[in-house]
Amino acid sequence: MPSSTILVLETNQAAIAAVEGPLTGMGYQVAVTADPDDAVRRAADFALVILDVGLGPRTGVDICREIRGTAALSAIPVLCVSQSTDVEERVRYLEAGADDVVVKPFDPRELEARVEALLVRFQRSRDLAPLVHADGEGPARRSIIACFSPKGGVGTTMIAVSVATSLAAQAPGRVLLVDFDLQFGQVATHLNLKPQLTVADLARDDQSLREPDLLRTYTIKHDSGLEVLAAPGTPESGRAITPEHVNLSLSTARTTYGTVVIDAGSELDERSLAVLERAEAVLVPIVPEIGALKALHSLLEYLTEVGSAAAAATFVLNHLFAREMLSMKQIEAAIGTKIEAEIPYDPGLYLKAINEGIPIVRSAPTSPPARALARLAAIAIGRPDEGATSRDEHRGRLGAFRRRG
Ligand SMILES: Nc1ncnc2c1ncn2[C@@H]1O[C@H](COP(=O)(O)OP(=O)(O)O)[C@@H](O)[C@H]1O
Ligand SMILES: [Mg+2]
């Protein structure tokens, strides 16, 4: 969305370039002010407001709260710059209604990724408001979608398989699911497929890594219309796969499939980092359990530290447990970011799906888990309004205002 205009409240003259530079470099129009009152007054005219407020009579948190307390500004996303790595400051910003927080010092790519994600997210909620007609062009459809979690057993594979199957139902033969869980990939099991060839075989075939039609010969077709590039049969055979193989295969796949979904597993190494860097959307399942939240927190800090562009993640709260003790608010505070999607608990459906090798979106398409997963698929590609199922009551009304592809 290069034509979007961004307002930056910058109280520290010396820091202007760090914020303004990367954004103008990306083609955004940026206005900078040092006066909090001026920022609040003019905010309504911009697509996004960034608050970078150092020491002064009014804190950034105060100003953020003021903007969020102004009804006319409710549709304007606010990105706050935290002056320290202190998690308390980040939480205060989120509690004051910040839509996202970036921590100083930040890599320009992280700022860009967060700005872009916020603009897409808010554009999306504007699209969904039934009485607002869309004009101008929409956010780009996202084609490379990765699922990754810093902890196993949280539904990463289930989500990757469900999202891919759901997308393939709308575009048979146009969706590829790659199992880059190079140690113990289970995508084939979830789909009851017995692949002859795997991504490890592909990695040994340089020509097929580069030529779309040859690459396709390494995939196996599922009867949903989904094509699958399976994980190596053993952890040993997966070891030879390099980040270059990952990059090449994704580039080539991208030219011949409309959407590439990746199960990136839960091992952080240079191959999964390559996947996260390449992905246009990263779905991160999290479960309401303190160990998982701590792992996620470390992951986010690590990604920030290495300056990864993988910051544009969608956090998916997967209700893995029958009984839960943590509230949404506690979870968001623990990870310092918002959760955009939820997948409900079910005592039997998920287990049955894996045991039978039939994803829930196919075996029980009208169940709450299937509907949440279909909605997630639409969010992942950046078209949340297309996730409504025929059972959604507002389908007709929203449909009338739907943006054409
Ligand atoms: N919302 C849920 N409710 C109940 N069980 C779930 C839910 N999500 C996933 N599961 C179960 O959790 C287990 C792990 O799922 P899987 O997708 O293999 O996780 P991962 O890939 O993260 O290791 C599976 O047995 C699945 O049936
Ligand atoms: Mg898995």
pLDDT digits 0-9 by tens, 144-189: 999 999 999 999 999 999 999 999 999 999 999 999 999 999 999 9
Q: Using the 8-state DSSP alphabet, how is residue 180 labeled?
A: -
- CB of 189 within 6 A of ligand 1: the answer is no
Three-class DSSP category at 19: helix
| Sheet strand arrangement including 175-179 | 220-221, 227-229, 175-179, 259-263, 144-147, 281-286, 313-318, 341-343
Q: Report the 10 Å Cβ neighbour count for 45.
A: 10
CA dihedral 288, 292, 297, 298 (to 10 degrees): 180
Q: Assign a CATH topology to domain 144-400.
A: Rossmann fold (3.40.50)
Asked if 123 and 258 touch (Cβ cutoff 8 Å), the reply is no
Two tokens, residue 118: 């916020």
Q: Using the 8-state DSSP alphabet, how is residue 323 labeled?
A: S
pLDDT at 387: 65
* Chain region(s) in the chain for CATH 3.40.50.300: 144-400
Q: Report the 10 Å Cβ neighbour count for 297.
A: 16
Q: Assign a CATH topology to domain 5-128.
A: Rossmann fold (3.40.50)
pLDDT at 332: 84
Ligand showing the shortest atom-to-Cα distance for residue 353: 1
Two tokens, residue 381: 């590609």
pLDDT in tens, the chain (405 residues): 446 799 999 999 889 999 999 999 888 999 999 999 999 999 988 999 999 998 888 999 999 999 988 878 878 899 999 999 988 999 899 889 898 999 999 999 999 999 988 888 777 666 554 333 333 445 568 899 999 999 999 999 999 999 999 999 999 999 999 999 999 999 999 999 999 999 999 999 999 999 999 999 999 999 999 999 999 999 999 999 999 999 999 999 999 999 999 999 999 999 999 999 889 899 999 999 888 888 888 888 887 777 665 546 889 999 999 988 888 888 888 887 788 899 999 999 999 999 999 999 999 999 999 999 999 999 999 888 776 544 333 322 222 222 332
* Chain region(s) in the chain for CATH 3.40.50.2300: 5-128
Distance CA 191, CA 176 (A): 13
Alpha carbon of 98 to ligand 1 centroid (Å): 31
- CB of 318 within 6 A of ligand 1: the answer is yes
pLDDT at 309: 57
CA gyration radius for the chain?
Answer: 22
Helical residues (DSSP H) of 264-394, grouped into ranges: 270-278, 290-305, 328-335, 349-356, 360-363, 368-380
Ligand showing the shortest atom-to-Cα distance for residue 320: 1
Q: Which helix (H) or strand (E) holds 121?
A: helix 108-128
Asked if 317 and 342 touch (Cβ cutoff 8 Å), the reply is yes
**Closest-CA residue to 260 (of 386, 142, 378):** 142
- CB of 249 within 6 A of ligand 1: the answer is no
Asked if 253 and 228 touch (Cβ cutoff 8 Å), the reply is no
pLDDT at 311: 44
pLDDT at 391: 39
Alpha carbon of 174 to ligand 2 centroid (Å): 23
Q: 5-10 and 313-318: which strand pairing?
A: unpaired
- CB of 351 within 6 A of ligand 1: the answer is yes
pLDDT at 136: 40
Alpha carbon of 364 to ligand 1 centroid (Å): 16
| Sheet strand arrangement including 29-33 | 29-33, 5-10, 48-52, 78-82, 100-103
- Give the Å distances, CA to CA, from 95 to 39, 92, 229, 337: 20, 5, 43, 11
Alpha carbon of 289 to ligand 1 centroid (Å): 14
- CB of 156 within 6 A of ligand 1: the answer is yes
Alpha carbon of 156 to ligand 1 centroid (Å): 7
- CB of 320 within 6 A of ligand 1: the answer is yes
Ligand showing the shortest atom-to-Cα distance for residue 367: 1
- CB of 354 within 6 A of ligand 1: the answer is yes
